[in-house]
Each structure stands twice: as C-alpha cells, then as structure tokens.
Structure 1
C-alpha cells in the first residue's frame, strides 16, 4: 500500500474541513461499511494505517467523488454539497478508449486517470460551475461517447482510492494514478453533443409544428440535411455548407460533422444497412483526419445513437 499516494489524492480532490464519504467493501463474504468523516481525519497517519490494514485483509477502499453537506450521516444524493468531479468508468477495451479520449477535441484534458486494474480505468475531471442536472447529463454523454459504464452517472458515485489495492483480484492489483492537469474545467469546456436530433422527427418532408408554430435552428438543420443526403449530395460537401451556415455555433465544424454523420447513419440503418457497416462507413469518412481509436469510438457512438433514435420512433 502507498498511503502517501492516497493522502495526496484525497487532498487534491477535497478542501480542508470538508466532509467526505468512505466506503469499505469486502467481497467474500460481502460486508460494506461506510464512514462519514472530515478530510483531516482520513488523512491522519493513524487513519491511513487503519485503511491500509483493512485493505491488506481484502477490503476495497472507495471515496465518494463529491463532498457531503456538513452534518450528513448518509451518502444519499440529497447529502451531496456540490459537484466537484466528472468521472468516467472504463471497464473494457480500456487502453484504446483512453487513447481515443486523450486524442479527442470534444473534451478537455482530464485531471487524472486512475488505473484500477489491468486495462481498466477511472477518468477524473475537476470541475466548477456544474449543477447536479448538468453533471448527470455530461456523465451520460461521456459514457456514450467513450464507451464508459452508463450506470456511473450519479452525483453520489464512489471511486477507488489510488494507493490501495483492488482486492477483487488474486493477487490484489495496485490502484495507481496519473495526473495530467491541475485546472478545473467548466460545462462549456465539454463539446459533447447537446442537441441530438429528436427521435420522432420524420425522415423527410416538413416537420410537425411545435408549440410555438416554429422550428428550432437545429430542427431546420436536421430536416435540411436529411433532404440533401436523400437527394444524393455528398456528406463532405454538406458538412462544409452546414458549418458555413452555422457560424453561431461554438464549434461549427464539429456540429456540422455530427449532424451529417447522424443523419447519414439513420438513413443507412433505415435502408437496411447493418450497424457494423454503418460504423465502417463513418470510420472511412474520417480516417484521414482523426486518430484511429477516436475515429472508431465516435463512429460506434453515432451508429448506436442513430439505431436508438429509430427504435424510439417505432415505439411512439
């Protein structure tokens, strides 16, 4: 065990005087103990020695990603004081997904990457300016875009503490951490998709009237792109035109690429093309401009989202 690493991690994540939640879990037989304590209590040498002793006996050590309200006795969502971190659990194909994330231009550089076991990771961003609804939305978008665990979207989620061992394995696997950035990031630093085309929009033709009788710019773009693709216009030409039309967007090219890719994926799936072939087509479209790992991750996410849109429409 490396209690110095654990102490450093906790003091980076939390401020002096804050209340945090520790979770101690033994796998066989299952036993879970939760401790609500002040940061200074956890980082005291005697407490760290006790955690190391528990870990050595087969207990996994976790900490809640966000601080608790003072006086809290539980780790419920209502007890969370503020959003301090975004996080992404990557449990499969970890190395390629981490490479894709680090090469991506749609998310800021993570503050830290925790290696929880072989090719399994937890990615952390220190954040400010997030409310709970925005955090949950971004966590879902991160999991969708980079193949993370979709269940890890709660504000009271726990993370493994670096410096201790992952006791789920024999022999136990050391949990380590790599720090990449010391800056906190804000919601606008994440250019994850915020305007997915509505699942119930018709394939072609006019849009149903909204409550105001008007269509949003994004709805107009979506209908126009579908119509142009259906008439045979190339995706490359259409992307350039849409980017030029939507200079009001923070990243017009990314917005245009995603809209055109999503529309072309949807059209292809409705025409009977397999998801596998749609992914391959999207990969080929961007192979010259994106790293291979990122190209595959984005293509898969778009194809899966398009398939989900079609499924949702069939249910309406």
Structure 2
C-alpha cells in the first residue's frame, strides 16, 4: 500500500518540490491539509501515518501540481508550475476511458487511476504549459471524453493510489497503471475547441456507435479469447499481438492488457474465484513488474473482466 503511494508521488514530483496533501474524513466530511516536501511525504514514517489515517476512514488526495516553496495553502496562486494534465471520468467510465485510449487527439496517458468501480482519473506528465493553456486543455478534455467539467483548476487534487476510497462499501483500493513514461508538450494534444467536438478521429478508424463494423481492437479481442480458449500460451500470445499491433503507441502494454483481461474473463466464466484470478495474473507478470504495482494491476484487470461479464448478464 505505502510503496504504491510512494512510487506514484515520486513519479509525479521532482526531488525537493513542495506538494499539498488533502485528508478528508468520510464519516463527518472534515478536511485537513498538509503542505510538505516530496521527501517528507515519502518518508516511511509519514506514509505509515497516512496509512493509519486511511485505515480509519480518511480519504487521501494529492494536488496535481507542485506548490511554491514556503506555501501554506493549496491556492491557485501558490501553484508554481503545471506538471500534469488530467481528466476525471465519473460516468460510463469504461466506455469513456476506451474512447480516450483510442483517440488520436491525445497521447497515451502517463498514469490511469481506478478510483472506484467504473471511475477513473487519467494523468499526462507535461512541460511547456502555462496556467491558461492548461485550463483550456482541461476543459477540452472534459468536453471530448465526458469528464467532470469541475476538474479544470490548476490546484485540483487527485486520489493517491494504494489507499482505500471510503466512499463505497466495501471500500475500494485505488489502483494505478503507467501506460507511458513520456513527458508531453502542448503540441502533443490535438483537441479542437470545446464547441467543435462533433467527432474526434480515433486510432485505426475506431468508432463508438452501435452500428459499426468490427474494429482492429475488436478483432484482437476475439482472437485473444479464441486462442486462450484453445489452451495457447499467454506469454507467446502477448508477444505475437505486440508484433502485430506495432501501430499502437505502446504495443507491449496493449498486448499485455488485452491478453490478461481476456484470460481473467475466461477464468471467471470457468468459475474461478476473483481472488484466485488476481493471484494468477500476478504470477503471470511478477517477473515484469514491481511487486506492489503487479498486485494493483492484477486486481484492476480482474475487476474489469468481472464488470464486463456482469454487463453481458444484465444487458
């Protein structure tokens, strides 16, 4: 838990930077704010304290951008630089995240947080943005992909992965994946003005309406499900799919995720308990990912497959 949070904060901020943390009690709504350096926030004793607070029903957040040294509050004026572009997807999350992944208008996200079932926050690590450009881009993202229009401030907070979201019963452990290590500039985002979102171009001509023909990704999905059902080796299938989809920004990531979700779906349909599916996914990728990240990723993929099956049952 603490290691996942530490990895996330270390990826998001540079050594010596000042960051803002927000602690909100789910039971009474009381909020506390802490302004600390990255080193303080990632110290083992401080992380243990945060874990203690979270264990007792406190939701944990971090500001998306660093603060000026000496700041005491998380105000717009205290933000020193734009470090992230982000979107908060609260409604129809799986479909809207799929549209975001498929779009040619945005690069591959630096991080995707699963904040609760079917709800996500996507972040892009950026440079070269001023505050006005960032705010405009946040509005464009929200308009393009159905994100929360309120999440367009430079001092916005995001949930910290590795900790529990106590808004739900049972509490949901916030998971994270890192599709890209790139740092992006304004030119990498090719979104039209908010009023022009009639139809964004999608990678490989993917469409989202119900009458379209099978897309390349759908063919990949059908192929993966068929091959796995025939007992083919998942690692070999992953490498075959990655080679076949060299058009993807991150072919290996795309292939791993496709094969793993298809595997999880098959295991669940065969009657395997969810926790066993999570364990099998961890074992499959434990040589490729750090232990904490591997665990969080396996749980997110297994629950995604579970939701896919549930939607089919009740469609």
Deviations 1:240-284 (A, max 9, x none): xxxxxxxxxxxxxxxxxx7xxx5xxxxxxxxxxxxxxxxxxx79x
Could you give the per-residue CA deviations for residues 218-241 of structure 1, whole angstroms, max 9, x where no partner exists?
xxxxxxxxxxxxxxxxxxxxxxxx
Alpha-carbon RMSD across the aligned residues, in angstroms, is: 2.4
The offset of 1:28, in angstroms, is 1.5
> Structure 1 residues 294, 38: closer, same or farther in 2, change over 3 A?
farther
Change (3 A) 1:195 1:293: closer
Match of 1:156 in 2: 155
**C-alpha deviation, 1:196, in angstroms:** 5.1
| Alpha-carbon distance in structure 2 between the residues aligned to 1:27 and 1:290 | 40
Unpaired runs of 5+ residues, structure 1, are 198-257, 263-281, 297-316
Q: For structure 2, list consecutive stretches of 5 or more residues without a partner in the other structure.
A: 213-315
The aligned residue for residue 221 of structure 2 is: none
- Determine the structure 1 residue equivalent to 2:107: 108
Separation of aligned partners in 2, 1:169 and 1:30: 14
SS at 1:99 equivalent: helix
Runs (4+) of structure 1 moved beyond 3 Å?
194-197, 293-296
Q: What is the distance in 2 between the residues matched to 1:143 and 1:45?
A: 36
For 2:141 and 2:22, the matched residues in 1 are separated by 25
Alignment of 1:11-90 (within 5 A): 11-90=10-89
Separation in structure 2 between the aligned mates of residue 292 and residue 98 of structure 1, nearest angstrom:
12
| Structure (1 or 2) with the larger CA radius of gyration | 1
Contact 2:140/2:194 (CA < 8 Å) preserved in 1?
no
Distance 1:294 1:161, change over 3 A: farther
Equivalenced residues, count: 211
Sort the Cα spacing of 1:98 and 1:295 in 2 relative to 1 into closer, same or farther, 3 A. Answer: farther
Looking at structure 1, the residues matched to 88 and 207 of structure 2 have their Cα atoms a distance apart, in angstroms, of 22
Distance 2:87 2:108 in 1: 13
Asked whether the 8 Å contact 1:100–1:293 carries over to 2, the reply is no
Asked whether 1:180 is paired with 2:179, we answer yes
CA distance in 2, matches of 1:61, 1:20: 13
| In 2, Cα distance between equivalents of 1:5 and 1:294 | 38
Instruction: Show CA shifts across 1:189-238 (max 9, x none).
Output: 111004957xxxxxxxxxxxxxxxxxxxxxxxxxxxxxxxxxxxxxxxxx
Q: Rate the CA distance shift 1:97–1:72 in 2: closer, same or farther, 3 A.
A: same
Alignment of 1:257-268 (within 5 A): none
